[in-house]
Chains A and B, each alone.
Chain A
Amino acid sequence: MKSMIKLFSSVKLAIFLLIVITLATILGTLVPQGGSPEAYKEKYGDGAAVLINLGITRLYQSPWYLTLLVLFSTNITTCSLTRIKPKFNKAFKPQVIIEEKKFNALSLKKIFKSHQPVPRVKGNLKEILKSKGYKIREKSEQDRVYLLARKKFLGLFGSDTVHLGILIVIIGGFISGAAGSRDNLALTLEETKPVPGADFSLKLNNFETLYYPDGSVKDWKSTLSIIKNDQRILTKTIEVNHPLSYKGFVFYQSGYGWNWRNPQVEIMIGRKTENPFSESVRIKVGEKALIKDKHIEINPMYFVPDFVLTEEKKVTSRSLEPNNPAVYVKAIEKGELAFSGWLFLKYPEFNTRDSQVNSNLSLKFKDFKAESYSVIQIAKDPGVPFIWTGCTFVMLGLFLAFYYIPRELKFMIKKESQKTKIYGGGIVKKAKDSFKEEFDQIILSFRESK
C-alpha cells in the first residue's frame, strides 16, 4: 500500500502518464474514429482487424484509454493529497518564531536599527503591513517580538484546485459516457411523440426555416410543447443555439427535412394557342385528377426536389432540398395521351414533352406542398453539472496559481542596548520585482513613521 501511494504521488509518473495520454490522443486523430468494420477493411486491408481489436477505431472509449485516464486521475489525486498537509500547516499553523541567523538566508531581507522603543516599532510596523493588506500574527518572547505578515495565502492551493477541477471533469465525463443518452425525434407538424425514457411527450406546433436574402439558411425554429397526460405543460420555440431544457432532458434543433414521398403539386392547364393558362388543379403525386368538362386526366407520376441528370441520363435528386423541384406528368385527353414529360417549377423554359404526342395541351408546374418535419435531438446527460463545476474549479485554480501569489514577511524586533534592532525579510518564489518593491516601501514607510 505504502509503495503504491509513493508511486502514485510521484510527479514523474504524472509526467510519464501525461506524455502517454498525449501520444494516445494524437493516435486517435490519425485513424478515423467510429467507422464501420467494412470501411476500415477498405482503408487498411488486413491491418483493420488489428486496429479494431486494439480499440484504436474507438480509441477514446477503449478500455485502455479509459484506464490511462483513471490512472492519471489517481495520480493527480494522490499527488495533491500527499502534498496538501504541509500546505495546510503552512497556511493555517504557520511558524511565527524565526531564528536570528535564518534571516540571512532569506532572499529578501533588511536588518536595521531604530530609536523607537519595541512596542512602538511593533505598532507602526503592524499598521503599515495592515494597510498593504497583510494579515498579522505575533508572538512575544522575553525581550523580543515576532511578527508574521501574510497575504493571498489561498494562492498556495492553486494547483490543488486545478487538480480537483480536472478530477471532477473526468468524473463528469465518465458519468456522461455511462448514463448519458441521445435520441433523435423527427416530428411533422402537429405530431406528438413520446420522449424515450420519460413520462411525457413532445409535440411540434410549428416549424419554420428562415433564409438570408442570398438564399442560404439563417435559422430553423421549432415551437415545441411538453405534453403530459394530455395536458400542455409548457411551450417554447427553440432554434439552433437555443435549446429547451426540461427535467434533465435538453431538446435541440438538430435537423429538418421534407417528406418527398407524395407531395401535393399544383399544375396549370392551358392550350398552346391560348394565353394565359385557363385552369389549375391541385393533386398529390401518384394520384389522378379528372377535369370533367374537358375530359382531361392529369397524372403527376414522379417528383424530385432537386432535379439532376446523371451521366447515364437518369433522373435523380441532387439533394433533399427543394432547389430544383420537378414533376413528371402524364395527361390523357379523351382517351388519348396528350402530354408526358418533366415540368420544372423554377425553369419552365426547360420543360420536356414527348415528341411523339401530338396535342396542343400545355401544362405548367406552379407550386408544391410537402410535409416538412423537424428533427429534435433529445439529450440527457447527468454528467454536465460535474463538467461545469470542474471547469469553474480549473479556472479558479489557474487564477490562484498564476495571479494570486502568496506573500509572507517575517519580522523580529528586539531591544539592543539603547536602540531597537529590527530584522525583516521574506522568501520570494514568483513575481520577484513587485514583491521586492513592496518590501522596500514597507521599510521606507516605517522609517518615516514616528
Chain B
Amino acid sequence: MTESTLFLIAFILYGSSAAFYFAFLFSEKNIWAKTGYKIIFTGFIIHTAALVLRTLESGHAPFTNMYESLSFLAWCGAFAYVSIEGKYKIRKAGPYFILIIIVFMAIASSPLMPKEAKPLMPALQSYWLWLHVSVTLLGEAFFAMAFVTSIMYLIVEPKKTARLKQNKGLTPERLDFISYRCIAIGFPLFTLGGLIFGMIWAYKAWGRYWGWDPKEVWSLITWFVFALYLHTRLVMGWKGKRSAVIAVIGFLAAMFTYFGVNYLLAGLHSYL
C-alpha cells in the first residue's frame, strides 16, 4: 500500500461520509448520520496511516510542501469533526464541514501540487517544524469548524421561528455555543503553535523572533480578529449574528494567512 493509495482511499471515504450525512439531512433518519460518522472515522484512521507512511518514506514531518500541508490540514479537520461530533452531537453541521475537508483534499490532489517528497532545506530541519505546523493547523481546523457553525447560524437564525421545531438538536443558540467552544479550543492552539512556536523557531533559525514577514503579520491579524471575537462576546455580551460574522472573518483571515500570503505576498515563508 503506498501513501498515495491510502490518501485516495481516505479521500473517497470522506466523500462517501459527506454523502451519507447529506442523506441524513434530507431523510432525517439517524442511521444515515451514524453510518456517516463511522465512515469519516475510518477515513481518518486511513488518512493517519497515509501520513505515517509519508513520514517514514521521506524521513521528515509530513507538511513541508503544499500537498503535504493541505493533506495534514484535512486530517486535522477530520480530527476536529470526529472529536466535536463525539462531544456535542452536531450531526447537521457534519455534511457542510466534511465538504471543507473534501475541498482541502481536492486541492491537495490537484495536479498543480507537486507531490514528490523533496529533501528538507536547511532552515526547515528542526523539531520546531513539527511543533509549529501541527499545532497551528490543528488550531485552524477548529476555526474551520467554528466557520461552518457560524455560517449555519447566519442562515438559520433569520428563519428561527419557522424552522426552530425541525431543528431539534441544533438550534441557533446551540450553533452559537458550538462556534464559541471551537474558538475556545482553536484560539489557544493557534496562539501557541502559530505565534509562540513560530517566534521561537524564527529566533532559532533566523536570529529574530519577529520580522514583520507577511506570513507573520497575517497570523497576527488572524489572532487580532479572534481576540476581537472573544472580547466583544465575553466582555460586551455580543452573541449570535455579530459574533458569527467575526468568526467567519477570522477563518477567512486564517485561510489567507495559510494560502493567500504564499501566492500574493512575497516573504520568507515562500517555501510554504
A212 to B217, CA, bound (A): 33
Determine the residue in chain A with the shortest Cβ distance to B197. Answer: A391
Is A216 an interface residue, CB under 8 A from the partner?
A: yes
A residues less than 8 Å from B217 (CB atoms): 25, 28-29
Determine the residue in chain A with the shortest Cβ distance to B180. Answer: A430
- A-B contacts at CB below 8 angstroms, number: 98
A residues less than 8 Å from B6 (CB atoms): none
A19 to B126, CA, bound (A): 35
Taking CB atoms and an 8 Å cut-off, the chain B residues in 103-157 that contact chain A are 118-119, 121-123, 125-126, 128
A394 to B196, CA, bound (A): 10
B residues less than 8 Å from A242 (CB atoms): 204
Q: Is the interface of B mostly helix, strand, loop or mixed?
A: helix
Q: Are B207 and A15 in touch, CB under 8 angstroms?
A: no
B125 is contacted by which of A26, A240, A254 (Cβ under 8 Å)?
Answer: A240
A32 to B209, CA, bound (A): 20
Determine the residue in chain A with the shortest Cβ distance to B227. Answer: A18
Is A11 an interface residue, CB under 8 A from the partner?
A: yes
B228 is contacted by which of A19, A29, A33, A182 (Cβ under 8 Å)?
Answer: A19
Is A402 an interface residue, CB under 8 A from the partner?
A: yes
Which of A305-313, A379-387, A409-417 touches B? A379-387
Q: Are B122 and A239 in touch, CB under 8 angstroms?
A: yes
Contact with A along B191-204 (1 / 0, CB 8 A): 11001100110011
Q: Are A399 and B188 in touch, CB under 8 angstroms?
A: yes
A402 is contacted by which of B121, B184, B195, B224 (Cβ under 8 Å)?
Answer: B184
Q: Are A402 and B188 in touch, CB under 8 angstroms?
A: yes
Given contacts A11-B231, A395-B188, contact A212 B119 (CB under 8 A): yes
Given contacts A241-B204, A384-B203, contact A29 B218 (CB under 8 A): yes
A384 to B196, CA, bound (A): 12
Determine the residue in chain A with the shortest Cβ distance to B236. Answer: A11
Q: Are B123 and A241 in touch, CB under 8 angstroms?
A: yes
Taking CB atoms and an 8 Å cut-off, the chain B residues in 217-232 that contact chain A are 217-218, 220-221, 224-225, 227-228, 231-232
Determine the residue in chain B with the shortest Cβ distance to A14. Answer: B231
B236 is contacted by which of A15, A250, A377 (Cβ under 8 Å)?
Answer: A15
Is B205 an interface residue, CB under 8 A from the partner?
A: yes
Q: Are B188 and A15 in touch, CB under 8 angstroms?
A: no
Which of A111-119, A217-225, A324-332, A347-355 touches B? A217-225
Q: Are A29 and B220 in touch, CB under 8 angstroms?
A: no
Q: Are B210 and A173 in touch, CB under 8 angstroms?
A: yes
Is A22 an interface residue, CB under 8 A from the partner?
A: yes
Is A21 an interface residue, CB under 8 A from the partner?
A: yes
Is A174 an interface residue, CB under 8 A from the partner?
A: no
A388 to B197, CA, bound (A): 10
Q: Are B228 and A18 in touch, CB under 8 angstroms?
A: yes
Given contacts A14-B231, A22-B224, contact A395 B122 (CB under 8 A): no
Q: Are A240 and B210 in touch, CB under 8 angstroms?
A: no
Is B38 an interface residue, CB under 8 A from the partner?
A: no
**Least Cβ distance of B75 to chain A in Å?**
24
Is A157 an interface residue, CB under 8 A from the partner?
A: no
A residues less than 8 Å from B221 (CB atoms): 22, 25-26, 29
Q: Are A22 and B228 in touch, CB under 8 angstroms?
A: yes
Is B265 an interface residue, CB under 8 A from the partner?
A: yes
Is A243 an interface residue, CB under 8 A from the partner?
A: yes
**Least Cβ distance of A27 to chain B in Å?**
10
A residues less than 8 Å from B258 (CB atoms): none
A241 is contacted by which of B187, B205, B227 (Cβ under 8 Å)?
Answer: B205
Q: Are A216 and B125 in touch, CB under 8 angstroms?
A: no
Is A252 an interface residue, CB under 8 A from the partner?
A: yes
Determine the residue in chain B with the shortest Cβ distance to A239. Answer: B122
B265 is contacted by which of A29, A212, A394 (Cβ under 8 Å)?
Answer: A29
Determine the residue in chain B with the shortest Cβ distance to A394. Answer: B191
Contact with B along A167-186 (1 / 0, CB 8 A): 00000010010000010000
Is B240 an interface residue, CB under 8 A from the partner?
A: no
Is B235 an interface residue, CB under 8 A from the partner?
A: yes
Determine the residue in chain A with the shortest Cβ distance to B264. Answer: A29
**Least Cβ distance of B207 to chain A in Å?**
4
Given contacts A25-B217, A29-B265, contact A214 B119 (CB under 8 A): yes
Q: Are A29 and B188 in touch, CB under 8 angstroms?
A: no
11 other A-B residue contacts (CB within 8 Å) besides A11-B235, A182-B208: A19-B228, A22-B225, A218-B122, A239-B122, A240-B205, A241-B204, A252-B207, A379-B207, A394-B196, A402-B184, A402-B187
Query: Residues on A close to B: CB < 8 A?
Result: 11-12, 14-15, 18-19, 21-22, 25-26, 28-29, 33, 60, 159, 173, 176, 182, 212, 214, 216-220, 239-243, 250, 252, 254, 377, 379, 381, 384, 387-388, 391, 394-395, 398-399, 402
Query: Residues on B close to A: CB < 8 A?
Result: 118-119, 121-123, 125-126, 128, 184, 187-188, 191-192, 195-196, 199-200, 203-210, 212, 214, 217-218, 220-221, 224-225, 227-228, 231-232, 234-236, 261, 265
Can you list 17 pairs linking A and B with CB atoms under 8 Å apart? A18-B224, A18-B227, A18-B231, A29-B221, A176-B210, A240-B205, A241-B122, A241-B123, A241-B126, A241-B205, A250-B207, A254-B207, A377-B207, A391-B195, A395-B191, A395-B196, A398-B187
Top 9 A-B residue pairs of the complex, sorted by shortest distance between their CB atoms? A240-B122, A212-B119, A379-B207, A241-B126, A22-B224, A398-B188, A252-B207, A391-B196, A11-B235
